[in-house]
Amino acid sequence: MSDIIKNLEEIFGTENVSVSEVDKLMYSFDASQREGKTQVVVWPKNALQIQELIKYALNANLDIVPRGGGTGLVGGCVPNNSIVVDVSKMNKIENINLKEKEVLVQAGLVIKDLNDELKEHNLFFPIIPSSHKICQIGGIIATNAAGIRAIHYGKTDKWIKEIQIINGNGDNLTIKDPTEICGSEGILGIIIGAKLKLTDILEKRTLTVKTFDDIDRLCESVEKVAGNKNITAIEFFGKHTAEIADIKSQYHLFIEYNNDDGEIKEINKINELLNLRKGLGPLIGSKKYTVVEDPKIPMNKLPDFLRWLEENKIPVFGHIGIGIFHPRFKPDQDKLIIEMFELVKKLGGCVSGEHGIGLAKKKNINSKAIERFKILKKKYDPKNIFNRGKIYD
Ligand SMILES: Cc1cc2nc3c(=O)[nH]c(=O)nc-3n(C[C@H](O)[C@H](O)[C@H](O)COP(=O)(O)OP(=O)(O)OC[C@H]3O[C@@H](n4cnc5c(N)ncnc54)[C@H](O)[C@@H]3O)c2cc1C
């Protein structure tokens, strides 16, 4: 062990290597609350240090776990006696190209920090997960994250021009097509930077709130508005969630527009209502519903899925406009979760719409997806030094 530390300190400097009990404990978890085991934590400051680390890890057969903000909900950066590489010290904005509306950033940059910086240029990066105050560019690329406005802006992969990644041979690659890296959950290499597309800040935002007693009426209403290009978000919460939030027990739809079509025009009121929706996660969590799922359901099957949730009294909210839901369970409700996954598959949906597979959903990933990841693993990390045991065994 002391040999490892000595070698890592030579690469990163003593101040950027830790085996303190506090750090080891903190880095053994992510937001999924799964616990692993950290061997050592390192904080690289540049690509060369990471390349040196990889050379060393290849020789010593060590497992490297890339980590961003640690907000992942599937245990994707939970280590297994691994070296945890926290890229948060590589967090610079290298260049903003106003003419091309693009920005070159390092992977450890936090999404909110990027958008705060872009405000003065009237631009923004539109992938804004609810965790945007903590999650990082590398993390959202690795999970191909979505935000509440995914119905309008899509997922992270749509906003990537280039990714810089160090692979399992220690090569520093610039990749123009994001398809293979977006959603690869840290098993192919360490993302160190990216060129991102930007868009103009939303000048106008209005909101309509609708309530329903009946699932069919709710789904008809979603169907009616779903093709409208001026809609930037369609958010939802169910009856049981409303009861927990002390709101009238009904289904709620929040529809945000980028023009005057919404009934509520006053921006403070709009933000207040959207913050109420965003606050539902922590509120439900405080009632012991701490397990978060993220199934994606085909739009024509929404009523079947919502009926099942209601019959089982499961609190739920989510991005109904793109069919992604966040049903919440108590830790002892494993059987119900398995039942839900069976239903999701039967309805032709997918068990993870945005959080990824990590450790939590390995049992539920299909063989076609595993085959694809195995091919990518061979291409980028043939000696398997990154994030062993994640996505598939
Ligand atoms: C309160 C809360 C709200 C959330 N809301 C949303 C939401 O609205 N939409 C959504 O999609 N997700 C959401 N999430 C899930 C989570 O925030 C996202 O998955 C996010 O993209 C993770 O980013 P991170 O920087 O925290 O990554 P981490 O949790 O640190 O890591 C996640 C995965 O990415 C890999 N990784 C991280 N950095 C790198 C890197 N530099 N190179 C290679 N691999 C890397 C890790 O190995 C791991 O597999 C939420 C989570 C919480 C706790």
CB atoms within 10 A of CB 200: 11
- Same domain for 307 and 245: yes
Please check whether residues 181 and 219 belong to one and the same domain: no
Going by C-beta distance under 8 Å and a sequence separation of 6 or more, which residues neighbour residue 146? 127, 129, 154, 155, 156, 319, 322, 324, 353, 354
Predicted local confidence at residue 201, as pLDDT: 94
Residue 359 lies in a domain: no
- The predicted-structure confidence for 24-37, as pLDDT tens digits, reads as follows 999 999 999 899 99
Banded pLDDT at 93 (limits 50, 70, 90)? very high
Q: pLDDT category, 40, cuts 50, 70, 90?
A: very high
Identify whether residues 166 and 229 lie together within a single domain: no
* Nearest ligand 1 atom to alpha carbon 73: 15
Residue 351 within any structural domain of the chain:
no
Same domain, 275 and 168: no
Question: Which of 215, 224, 210, 227 shows the shortest CA–CA distance to 316?
Answer: 215
300 and 210 co-located in one domain: yes
CATH of the domain at 47: 3.30.43.10
97 and 191 both lie in a single domain: yes
Answer yes or no: do 217 and 181 share one domain.
no
User: What's the CA gap between 387 and 371, in Å, rounded?
Assistant: 17
Closest Cα partner for 230 from 204, 252, 195, 194? 204
Testing ligand 1's pocket by substitution, the residue of 125, 136, 143 carrying the most ligand atoms inside 8 A of its CB is 143
> Which one of 131, 134, 277 would you pick to mutate in the ligand 1 pocket, going by the greatest count of ligand atoms within 8 A of its CB?
131
Could you tell me what percent of the chain has a pLDDT over 90? 95
CA–centroid distance, residue 263 to ligand 1 (Å): 34
Q: Ligand 1, residue 188: give the atom nearest the CA.
A: 43
Q: How far apart are CA 51 and CA 357, in angstroms?
A: 27
Instruction: Report yes or no on 242 lying in a domain.
Output: yes
State whether 223 and 309 are in the same domain: yes
User: 363 lies in a domain?
Assistant: no
For residue 323, the enclosing domain spans 206-346
In a domain, 393, yes or no: no
Mean pLDDT estimate for the chain: 96
Are 212 and 191 contained in the same domain?
A: no
CB 165, CB 190: distance < 8 Å: yes
Region at 391 (left for phi over 0; alpha for psi -120 to 50; beta for the rest) = left
Q: Are residues 151 and 181 in the same domain?
A: yes
**Which protein residue's CA is at the shortest distance from atom 36 of ligand 1?**
139
Q: What is the pLDDT of residues 50-89, one digit of tens each?
A: 999 999 999 999 999 999 999 999 999 999 999 999 999 9
Domain stops at, among 62, 88, 114: 88
Boundary (domain end) residue, out of 53, 88, 123 = 88
Q: Does 179 fall in a domain?
A: yes
Which ligand 1 atom sits closest to the C-alpha of 134?
26
d(CA 164, CA 297): 33
Protein residues with CB under 6 Å of any ligand 1 atom: 30-31, 65-73, 76-77, 87, 107, 129-131, 135-136, 138-140, 142-143, 145-147, 185-186, 190-191, 281, 354-355, 358, 387
In a domain, 241, yes or no: yes
Q: What angle do CA 362, 80, 187 make, to 5 degrees?
A: 55
Residues 274 and 171 in one domain: no
State the pTM of this model.
Answer: 0.96
Q: Rounded to the nearest whole angstrom, what is the distance from the C-alpha of residue 130 to the centroid of ligand 1?
A: 11
Tokens coding 249 = 């027990």
Mean pLDDT of the 267-293 span: 93
Q: How many helices (H) and strands (E) does the chain have?
A: 13, 17
127 inside domain? yes
Domain shared by 178 and 135, yes or no? yes
Confidence at residue 239, expressed as pLDDT on a 0 to 100 scale: 96
Based on the structure, what is the number of domains in the chain?
A: 3
